Structure 1
Amino acid sequence: MRIAMVSEHASPLAVLGGVDAGGQNVHVAALATALAEDGHEVEVYTRRDRADLPERVPMHERVTVVHVPAGPPEPLPKDELAPFMPAFGRWLARTWTLRGRPDVVHSHFWMSGLAVLEAVRTVPVPAVHTYHALGTVKRRHQGAADTSPPTRIRDERRIGRAVDLVVATCRDEVSELRRLGVPESSVRVVPCGVDVERFAPGDGDPPRVGDRHGPAGPRRLPHRLLSVGRLVPRKGIATVVEALPALPSTELVVAGGPAADEVDGDPEVRRLRTLAARLGVADRVRFLGSVARESMPALIRDADVVVATPWYEPFGIVPLEAAACGRPLVGSAVGGLLDSVADGETGLLVPPRDPDALAGALGELLRDPERRRRFGVAARRRALDRYSWATVAAGTLAAYEPATYPALKEATA
């Protein structure tokens, strides 16, 4: 099968950790690769954001990243890209007319959906869409701080009603789509995935006090928590800091944000350090800055518990990475975490923005190493069963079938 993926702002070649580089980049790159390893040809179309980028870049034997000229060839915040999506779509249509149309096009994020709707107006191709995040949810939680274009929710509704299939990443998203007016009959759930070979358990338990082990350096206290993610308020790291006074033998390591030598100037780091100082826990919170992807498994294995407490989360890859490494997770009972964390089996879920509930759940696990071990074993097993990229690719292909079958039947007649 020839598969086109459109990911307008999240290139699979991007370096992770920036404001607009995160889980979607990982998802698109890994899904494209898994589909290619199953024998399919994949082209990933993303916006050209540098003048010196070649049009086509091989990423895998059967995956090519195509840089689309839409808007100025320079980095722009994703919230400024919507006006360039019609041009993006027209370029897709011209390219498919000249080079042959794909069997299916799968757009990622709402603006990619706009580009695809423009393209398929003139070059009909079965269209599948994954939102990755919904404007209704963002606006509900961020209010006036939401920087999305005012047309976003209207456009998301139009995309959901126009495409052949919506691939949602979790059950909570299905409910949101229903409220948005997207027919539930055109929605399938296929979760995000994790590289279960790279993210895997180590040889033993987490290090002890004073051990030099892994990218976070020596452990200073008996227990270590790890939070990973972009340094923005909605990721809820402040809630973890607020829980620390009730966990006196525990340190918090935070990975994400700018490079290590730029961390001190980051506004969110300054805000969190001020909060930690006010609570008397500043000496127990460390900010590592961005951590290389290859170092993440060791960083996760260094922790007793991984903590993910966002206000909201469309899916979230950190819980899957923790699970694959055999580490329990305590997280917010929101969005994708409701699916990826089996409460009481692989981790614990608490209400978002509730430091007392978080401290209680963390205290339970930190006092019970055997329970942490059981949770970790169960989490690894669940990651293997449900969230390997091979499993996710198979689920994606099965979801494509209803959308692509008429086109494939015609092509092979």
Structure 2
Amino acid sequence: MPRRIAVISVHTSPLAQPGTGDAGGMNVYVLETSKELARRGIAVDIFTRATSSSDPHLVEAAPGVTVRNVVAGPFEGLGKSDLPSQMCPFTAAVLREEAANEPGHFDLIHSHYWLSGQVGWLARDRWRVPLVHTAHTLAAVKNAALADGDAPEPWSRQAGEQQLVDVSDRLVGNTIEESRQLQRYYGARPGKIDIAAPGADLVRYTPGPAGAARDRLGIDRGEKVVAFVGRIQPLKAPDVLLRAAAAVLAGDRSMPVRVLIVGGASGSGQHGYDLVALARELGIEDRVTFLPPQPPAELAEVYRAADVVAVPSYSESFGLVALEAQACGTPVIAADVGGLGVAVADGVTGALVPGHGVAEWSAALSRLLADDGSRARLAAAAPRHAAGFSWSHTADALIDCYQRALLEHGGPGISPRRAGAPAERVLRRKRNRGRIVISGS
């Protein structure tokens, strides 16, 4: 078992509010898995870039979880695409942090997103510890399913991802589909990939009274509410939902449909991507309510207030919003892309829509909103499906991955040179009540 790991999340802090800027599901993933690992006795240091002069150098996010805000470049005005220019100062700061401790301070590095992987690669070689990498999103996959008006990911990113697939000790995918994508687009070896499906906070996200939630949000109890939660960008495709809702209302203007958009502007393709103007152009501005990104407690109320939560993304490695909504007892209508086919049980807890055409989405949306009985059955099954995904399960899978990486590397605190070559030292791996026993010769 690792004693202490370095988690690297360069471009977005796990303490940032998801749903705006570059903050999203990855933030939630990093923080929640770190907390679960700490509960199992693994200390976690998370390195992220400071974005404000008021950011303290150290923040205890939870017992055993320390967030280290690294100063690298100007605090403001740098987008994600500008960050490669700051990898040198960021990496230098991370190496200095480790150098202030005794050798062997970290047993393992887990990097998130390709920018972090570049830092982890250098730190891995310096510290002689394994590097585990989670991509979260892949340039080749995003570019293969680009939304209209969205900017493609640069070739430099895909080249950087290829390097990380080649040099990382282990790769973590959210789903089997992501594992296939790593193999198809980047030539990853199947035996190098571990699957650790994301989870949801099943204590915070639970079913609750829809009426009370609507009262708190100022939404009419008699309306049929379709909610979108996420960053406002072409990739996440909230415009698909607005166009589908407009088509539903064109067929029956009397249907009391309310579209609830919760999130903030983010990412590429923002020029001309104005949902307020689009709602006005479609003639449904009176049926659309916009809310800023919500903290977790208020977000649970959004899910409970909705009859349906829509996730129309063009690319999604998993889709935490879909899982959180189902945990709250709300059916999900989602694009059949990436990990959404795992997050949503088609026909059981919601509906998967092939493609992003207005006709397909409006038909699926109309069916869900019109059939109260069917929607109630989906809602009843949703929390049961979500119960199969928890951050505890994710942490279990990550620990298995870390143990494999350490066994292949020689164990915690043991460099490959001291461990000896595989021919000189035979590692036999046994499971004994969740522990790993190493037998050597």
TM-score (norm 2): 0.84
Match of 2:99 in 1: 97
Preserved contact between residue 348 and residue 381 of structure 2 (Cα < 8 Å): yes
Residues 159 and 281 of structure 1, relative CA distance in 2, 3 Å threshold: same
Structure 2 Cα separation of the partners of residues 214 and 397 of structure 1 = 43
Structure 2 Cα separation of the partners of residues 366 and 106 of structure 1 = 43
Verify: 1:251 aligned to 2:254, yes or no.
Answer: no
Preserved contact between residue 165 and residue 188 of structure 1 (Cα < 8 Å): yes
Q: 1:84, CA displacement in angstroms?
A: 2.0
Verify: 1:305 aligned to 2:308, yes or no.
Answer: yes
Residues 75 and 381 of structure 1, relative CA distance in 2, 3 Å threshold: farther
Q: 1:57, CA displacement in angstroms?
A: 1.5
Residues 230 and 391 of structure 1, relative CA distance in 2, 3 Å threshold: same
**What do residues 323-348 of structure 1 show as CA deviations (whole Å, max 9, x unaligned)?**
11011100100011011011111110
Which has more radius of gyration? 2
Structure 2 Cα separation of the partners of residues 92 and 398 of structure 1 = 26
Percent identity for Structure 1 against Structure 2: 34
Verify: 1:169 aligned to 2:174, yes or no.
Answer: yes
Structure 1 Cα separation of the partners of residues 141 and 21 of structure 2 = 19
Preserved contact between residue 52 and residue 76 of structure 2 (Cα < 8 Å): yes
**Which stretches in structure 1 are left out of the alignment for 5+ residues?**
259-265
**Which stretches in structure 2 are left out of the alignment for 5+ residues?**
415-437
Matches within 5 A, 1:8-407: 8-74=10-76, 76-99=78-101, 100-142=104-146, 145-146=150-151, 148-179=153-184, 180-202=186-208, 204=209, 206-207=210-211, 213-219=214-220, 221-244=222-245, 245-247=247-249, 248=252, 249=255, 250-257=257-264, 271-385=274-388, 387-405=389-407, 406-407=409-410
Structure 2 Cα separation of the partners of residues 173 and 16 of structure 1 = 22
Q: 1:170, CA displacement in angstroms?
A: 1.9
User: Residue 232 of structure 1 aligns to which amino acid in structure 2?
Assistant: Q
Preserved contact between residue 214 and residue 221 of structure 2 (Cα < 8 Å): no
Secondary structure (helix, strand or coil) at the match of 2:20 reads coil
Structure number with the higher helix fraction is: 1
TM-score (norm 1): 0.90
**What do residues 368-387 of structure 1 show as CA deviations (whole Å, max 9, x unaligned)?**
223222222222112112x1
Secondary structure (helix, strand or coil) at the match of 2:214 reads coil
**What do residues 33-83 of structure 1 show as CA deviations (whole Å, max 9, x unaligned)?**
111122211110111223343322111111101122333344521111112
Q: 1:237, CA displacement in angstroms?
A: 1.3
Secondary structure (helix, strand or coil) at the match of 2:374 reads helix
Preserved contact between residue 214 and residue 299 of structure 1 (Cα < 8 Å): no
Preserved contact between residue 130 and residue 168 of structure 1 (Cα < 8 Å): yes
Structure 2 Cα separation of the partners of residues 125 and 212 of structure 1 = 48
Preserved contact between residue 107 and residue 412 of structure 2 (Cα < 8 Å): no
Q: 1:212, CA displacement in angstroms?
A: 7.6
Structure 1 Cα separation of the partners of residues 319 and 213 of structure 2 = 29
Match of 2:424 in 1: none
User: Residue 262 of structure 2 aligns to which amino acid in structure 1?
Assistant: A
Which structure has more RCO (C-alpha within 8 Å, separation ≥ 6)? 2
Structure 2 Cα separation of the partners of residues 214 and 195 of structure 1 = 24
User: Residue 243 of structure 1 aligns to which amino acid in structure 2?
Assistant: A
Structure 1 Cα separation of the partners of residues 285 and 150 of structure 2 = 28
Residues 62 and 319 of structure 1, relative CA distance in 2, 3 Å threshold: same
Size of the aligned set, in residue pairs, is 399
